[in-house]
Amino acid sequence: MEKIFAVINDMETDGIIGRYAIGGAVGAIFWLEPITTKDVDVFVMLPSSPGGSLLSLGPIYDYLTGRGYLPEGQFILIEGWAVEFVPPATPLVEEALAQAVERDVNGISTRVFTAEHLAAICLQVGRPRDHDRVIRFVEAGVLDTELFEAILRRHDLVGKWQKFERDYLEP
């Protein structure tokens, strides 16, 4: 897996992508017990094309296919893993990307969403598996209460959190 992080670091250094951070299930593994997943979600800021404001994943695909990595649907296979590059689609994910933290994985540096942002994103998305992950974050005791509640307030998620607590966390 750290080979993937090295490839993405090279992309950032070479200016193919802007700031990036690992999210999704692999991001969650940085804070939680290992949970299974089939793909790696990489959230990226994309440099706008010269003279235009349209953002395109084209340069990412060109760069990676040039290094022998093949596209498969919305993914690119890197070192045996389906990797998806995702531009931030909500203010919450934008903030998560801006505040992502550096982590070392066997000597390779990478950036990952904080536990508080990952939990807030799961709460916002709200599928059953996202709810399950929020419960894991709470039970693992890895969320800083003040940071998490501040995120919920900034992104209008307090009501959703109160309902979630009633439905899933209260004994």
Partner 1 sequence: MTDAMRQLLARKKERSRQLAMLPVGEKLRMLEEMVAATRAIGVNRPSGPAKPMVRIRKAAGD
CA angle at 142 for the pair 139 and 144, rounded to the nearest 5°? 115
Using CB under 8 A as the binding rule, whether residue 9 contacts partner 1 is answered as no
Q: Which of the 8 DSSP states describes residue 142?
A: -
Nearer to partner 1, 68 or 141 (CB): 141
Mind giving me the DSSP string for 42-72? EEE--PPPTT-----SHHHHHHHHHTTPPEE
Footprint (CB under 8 A) of partner 1, residues 13-42: 26, 29-38
Smallest separation (angstroms) from partner 1 to the CB of 167: 17
Residue 100 class from Cβ within 10 Å (0-12 exposed, 13-18 middle, 19+ buried)?
buried
Is 106 a binding residue for partner 1 by CB under 8 A? The answer is: yes
> Which CB sits closer to partner 1, 135 or 147?
135
Residues in contact with partner 1 by CB under 8 A are 1-2, 26, 29-38, 103-106, 136, 139-142
